[in-house]
């Protein structure tokens, strides 16, 4: 670190390396090859004292280094950021259809909570709907990876992981006699699909990731609410209630 009169002037090894590149590399020897907004400032620095000139060139070298790093990170290897605020950018058809898909999830625990009775038929219907949604999420990833030019390539990771939610949905449907186990398998499938879409497999836009997160959390809480009602409320079949 170089200091003058107790003030910090230059910090970091990257600035020094950029100075070496400016003095040695031939493509930085002329001011015409610098950024237009920086060329005039470098010319003015030649009229300053040696210390101030060094500081001015160092400042521009730091700008060049940070500019190059931002340009590099802005290429194809850049990933879309994730924020729940991106939900406001979601297309209305996708948002409305996604929210309406929560009705079968929420109606089951609301009905049983209102009657303070656990209906196994209603809980099983909710679990079957959740299994179909888990299978749909895996198929959506498969369909996203197939078209030419898609950022999610049709490789073993994308296509193989797309089959896992369908297998979990099938396992959940086999738990007809044990709704609690089936609901837990559906919750596992929802969480695993969300993990694939947010972290493991690339390609989805930010608004879709935000919508998927919210919908998955609400669906998961509805299944947990059904399991809670099963534990604390008396069980009664719908056929018996009609009699």
Residue carrying the six token digits 């996708």: 94
Torsion of CA 62, 64, 70, 75, to 10 degrees: -150
Render pLDDT for 144-178 as a digit per residue (tens, 0 to 9).
Answer: 999 988 888 899 988 999 999 999 999 999 998 89
DSSP-derived letter for residue 31 is G
Over residues 56-68, the mean pLDDT reads: 43
Q: Are 172 and 180 in contact (CB under 8 A)?
A: no
Please, which residues have CB within 8 angstroms of residue 69's CB and are 6 or more apart in sequence? none
Domains and CATH numbers, the chain: 2-73 (no CATH), 84-242 (1.20.140)
pLDDT of residue 67 exceeding 90: no
pTM, entire model: 0.66
Q: Give me the pLDDT at residue 21, please.
A: 52
Which of 5-14, 23-32, 73-82, 103-112 has the largest mean confidence? 103-112
For 178, other C-beta atoms within 10 Å of its C-beta total 10
pLDDT at residue number 35: 45
- Check pLDDT > 50 for residue 66: no
Give me the pLDDT at residue 104, please: 97
Does the pLDDT at position 2 exceed 50?
Answer: no
Q: What is the pLDDT of residues 103-153, one digit of tens each?
A: 999 999 999 999 999 999 999 999 999 999 999 999 999 999 999 888 888
Long-range (24+ apart) CB contacts under 8 A made by 235-241 are 235/117, 235/118, 235/119, 235/120, 236/117, 236/118, 236/119, 237/119, 237/120, 237/121, 238/119, 238/121, 238/122, 241/117, 241/119
Query: Each residue of 81-115: b (16+ CB within 10 Å) or e?
Result: eeeeebbeebeeeeeeebeeeeebbeebbeebeee
pLDDT for res 150:
87
16 has a pLDDT exceeding 80: no
């Amino acid at each position: 670190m170089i200091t003058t009169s107790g003030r910090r002037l230059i910090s970091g090894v990257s600035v020094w390396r950029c100075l070496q590149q400016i003095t040695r590399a031939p493509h930085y020897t002329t001011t015409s090859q610098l950024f237009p907004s920086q060329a005039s400032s470098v010319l003015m620095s030649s009229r300053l004292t040696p210390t101030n000139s060094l500081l001015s060139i160092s400042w521009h070298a730091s700008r060049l280094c940070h500019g190059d790093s931002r340009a590099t990170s802005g290429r194809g290897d850049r990933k879309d950021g994730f924020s729940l605020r991106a939900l406001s950018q979601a297309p209305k058809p996708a948002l409305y259809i996604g929210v309406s898909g929560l009705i079968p999830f929420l109606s089951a625990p609301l009905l049983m909570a209102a009657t303070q009775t656990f209906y196994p038929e209603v809980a099983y219907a909710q679990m079957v709907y959740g299994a179909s949604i888990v299978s749909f999420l895996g198929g959506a990833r498969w369909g996203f990876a197939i078209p030419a030019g898609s950022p999610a390539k049709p490789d073993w990771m994308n296509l193989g992981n797309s089959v896992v939610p369908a297998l979990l949905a099938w396992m959940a449907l086999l738990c007809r006699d044990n709704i609690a186990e089936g609901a837990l398998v559906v919750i596992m499938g929802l969480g695993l699909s969300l993990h694939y879409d947010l972290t493991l497999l690339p390609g989805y836009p930010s608004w879709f990731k935000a919508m998927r997160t919210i919908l998955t959390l609400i669906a998961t809480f509805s299944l947990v609410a059904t399991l809670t009602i099963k534990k604390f409320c008396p069980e009664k079949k719908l056929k018996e209630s009609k009699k």
